[in-house]
Amino acid sequence: MKKIFLLILLLFSTFGLSNIVNASRESDTLVVHYLRYDGNYSNYAFHMWEYLPTSKGGKDFKFDTNNVDEYGVFFEVDLATDFDTATTLGIIVKYGMDWSGYREPGGDRYIDLSKAQVIGGKYHAYIVEKDLNIGISEADLAANKPDYRPRILTAMFSNSTTITASLTHIPTGGYELYENDTKIKTGTADSKTLSITIPSADISKKYTLHVFFEGSTPQTKVVSLEKLYDTESFKNAYTYEGTLGVSFESGKTIFRLWAPLSESVSLNLYNQNHSNYNNQGVVSLEQTPYNKVTMTKIENGAWEAKLDGDLSGKYYTFSVTNSGITSEVTDPYAYSTGANGQRGLVVNFETSNPTGWAYNTRPQTIKNFTDYIVYELHVRDLTSHSSWTGTNDYRGKFMGLSETGTRYTTRGTTVTTGLDHIAELGVNAVQLLPIFDFGYIDEVQIANNPSYNNTFNWGYMPYHFNTLEGSYSTNPFDGYARITEFKTAVMALHNKDLRVIMDVVYNHTGESDGSNFNKIIPGYYHRTNESGGFYNGSGTGNETASERPMMRKFMVDSVKFWATEYNLSGFRFDLMALHDYETMNEIKAMLKEIDPTIVVYGEPWDAGGSPLSASLKADKNNIKNMPEVGAFNDVTRDAVKGSVFEASEGGWVQGNTSDYNVQGIKYGIGGGVDLGLTSVSEWHLEPHRTINYVSAHDNNTLYDKLRLTNVSVQQAELLQVQANAIILTSQGIPFIHAGSEFMRSKPKSGGGYDHNSYESPDSVNQLRWDRKASYVNVFEYYKDLIQIRKDYQSFRLTSSTDIIEKLSFIETDKGNSVIAFKLAGDATNPEIIVVHSQKPALGMVQINLTEGKSYKILTNLEQSNANGLEVVSGVAFVPSNTTMILVEETNPVTIKKELVTIRKGQRFNPASNVTVNDKSAEIHYSNFHSTKTPGLYSVTVSVKESFGKVTYYTYFLQVTGNRYDVDLGGI
């Protein structure tokens, strides 16, 4: 059967899917009707997109207030123009043409055109304010889907003594209010808004409002306690401190769910992961649970079911009933799920561990937080390009991340790829973009449909925070497979001395009112406005309320789970300013007990307005209140390369020498500490809090940004190196975007560059190892910069006191075109001088060195060597667009420098003048002090090849008397 299905898909792709889809539609017009009971449609709109057969980007349509009928306002969508291939459309009705305003409940809702009725030659969709149903036929309307009858829109406590209700019509028969089953108040109303006063709410009881409309049955709604969630009485009554989710104890499997206001909760047990597929992905129906267990309410709002035996390997959900509506939900604490997160898995982790797994083990490479060198990576990007030559079934998977020994060869150049590349680069930590279960990727389609192409997403729409993403597993139907495979990847990374940092997104949920959290206890886990709508500080539809005890507990429990079960070494918090700093401190304190070297940092901003008090936010202003939590340094980022929001704006490396850019770079060089800068506000204050970077997954890659600011390809090589040379020689924690080391680009198929590739295909996002082969010189320079940072503790100072004592800036006669600084030496560390010179018009920059000292030059214009290129004293000459690193030579020597041309394998005299296979070779002596002193010395040979390309080779030079012996066999 599966083979027949695949054959049909191939036929579809051969003959053109769009023609088949269009032929199946009965109309090319969809009329969207929307009713609001206040009659105000000004600035209301809807966002629509093709959901099936392929999820695509959408478009906003604004309602025309002149188009009004009995069903409210309406808009006619031209399907042939805007959604020519769609069979099912997604829709969100909202206020405004952006995402900052009100949205109708239901989250992403869908219109299946194959089931829609054509009336008057057009499809119709009927939407009513605060009704989850969308009508698409006359039968739907007859069944009150959606419901146009008089009803209660909202009813909630606005404070402990006042209930406010919003109605669709004026109630002619008044209202009744019940406390549990006792009527406690009645009244009449002359408007669509009720305000009911009672002595005081008892949060242990249920309040129900009955409203009597003319010609209609009484309408009933449970009064929401949302506005009482933050009262001390609610916190005291319903803060549960025990274990939630699934645990094992005394031969029993225990299930617990926190649902304090639910009328009932039951546990549903299943044999397979999905209603339509078994655990091997074969079609198999299991629509109903094999066992349904009524759960018992225990203390502080938790529900519990204790079952005999070990139920590991079974799948489960909960059914929760709130306000008379029962919803089947997955467990927010679920430690794994089946395909598409439909059901949680009961996990026994001991049986899922790969051979060799040991708990609480991490590479012993970090003594202080400033020792971290972070490499940001997306799992799919590492292995999806054809130049990655590993196991084909592992492409884009956790297992691809674990595979070693892959190489790519072109035109005589062989480079490492994948995991080996990262290890060769020399970083010591990999930060993975979200690896928890996220939305917008159909795991069933990825597993069963070879032609399915919606395989990529950054992963910032979380569905199950404690579950690994199934599309990264070789079998998403088996909840154990993803666990074993990710642990295999962690072990492989650890074996290369690479720690693993997880990008976490607790600031919002992938769905709003449709999320499991909201179905379990409406409005608690999110911040809501006066009408019960969701605040949207995340820009994705909602924001979570970390300041509430049970959301805080969830975050702490979840981070602890990832750190202990998967041996993770750090956590990067997305939109950290949406969290309160007390929660961040509690998370850090918990992690410190596990391993004090686990690092925590985040984005010190949000994506829109949030109601969280400014005095509580984990943002720039309050990082002083989070002594061990770090934050990204956007000041230095934009100073180096220009604003990420203005594509054509260049920064210091492109020639913009404003005082702000110069001081912004100095701010990063100083690790964000207080150096008395005047153009920049200093806010990190300590180096371990300062995450220095110039590019990340967001916005344009560094290379694309340089090209957009009119930098030539040839010049981009120099600036690509210099931008991150600034970062890698700065105090704090350096952060490198994967692929920066070989000029990563994200070109669009139609031209230009993709700055927001969150759902763009692999062809845009993938790491291209052929590009590494083309720019191996850039890679080698990055590798040396990283090694230099690791070699010298002075680049990794641990306190503001040390930085202020040791760091001093050097003034030159080139003004803002040169940024130079010195790191003072001590008994165990040499003095270091770093010079960043800028545009070519500068020519050579002269830097006067400390009198009586000699310095090894480690980096120059196109050369780098962590062991040294040459030794100078008195003065150093720095070319433009160069970062020169000079390290005090503790055993001073006299340098003999010669420009010579040599032949392969020749025993040569510096005065000779020969060729090397028709290539000129410049020989630079490092640590070479006299031809009279025998010894082994290093030589860097720069070979100028075609098109101005320069390749560097390092050899050993044996000096015996007046003889020079060098083997140039590699050239």
3-state secondary structure at position 550: helix
* 603 part of the active site: yes
Q: Give the SS3 label for residue 504.
A: strand
Spatial separation of the C-alpha atoms in residues 789 and 787, rounded to whole Å: 5
Nearest to 868 by CA among 938, 934, 942, 933: 938
Q: Which one-letter amino acid corresponds to residue 483? A: I
Question: Do strands 429-432 and 193-197 pair parallel, antiparallel, or not at all (unpaired)?
Answer: unpaired
**Of 371, 485, 603, 619, which residue is the catalytic one?**
603
Q: Which of 437, 443, 503, 574 is catalytic?
A: 574
| Alpha carbon distance 647, 636 (integer Å) | 17
Phi-psi region of 391 (alpha: psi -120 to 50; beta: other; left: phi over 0): beta
**Structure-derived torsion over alpha carbons of residues 77, 78, 82, 86, reported in degrees to the nearest 10:** 80
- Beta-bridged to residue 164, according to DSSP, are 156, 195
Contact by Cβ (8 Å): 971, 952: no
**Cα dihedral: 811, 813, 818, 823 (round 10):** -30
DSSP 349: G
Spatial separation of the C-alpha atoms in residues 104 and 128, rounded to whole Å: 9
DSSP letter at 68 equals E
Between CA 334 and CA 462 the distance in angstroms is 13
Total Cβ atoms within 10 A of residue 784: 24
Q: What is the DSSP letter of 577?
A: G
- Beta pairing partners, 138: none
Which pair of structure tokens corresponds to residue 116? 């829609």
Q: Please give the angle made by the CA atoms of 380, 382 and 383, to the nearest 5 degrees.
A: 75
Peptide bond into 146 cis (omega under 30): yes
* Token pair belonging to 193: 């808004």
Taking the C-alpha atoms of residue 63 and residue 73, their distance in angstroms, rounded to an integer, is 7
Strand 963-965, strand 907-908: pairing: antiparallel
**Strand pairing of 875-878 and 882-888?**
unpaired
Q: How far apart are CA 26 and CA 198, in angstroms?
A: 56
| 54, 83, 301, 469, 501 from 476: Cα distances, Å | 20, 31, 33, 8, 23
Q: What is the largest CA-CA distance in the chain?
A: 113
- Number of Cβ within 10 Å of residue 517's Cβ equals 23
Name the 3-class secondary structure at 298.
coil
Residue 249's alpha-carbon distances to 243, 310, 326, in angstroms, are 12, 9, 30
Question: What DSSP element (H or E) covers 742?
Answer: none
In angstroms, rounded to a whole number, what is the distance separating the alpha carbons of residues 545 and 549?
9
Structure tokens at 962: 């007046």
Q: Mind telling me the catalytic residues?
A: 574, 603
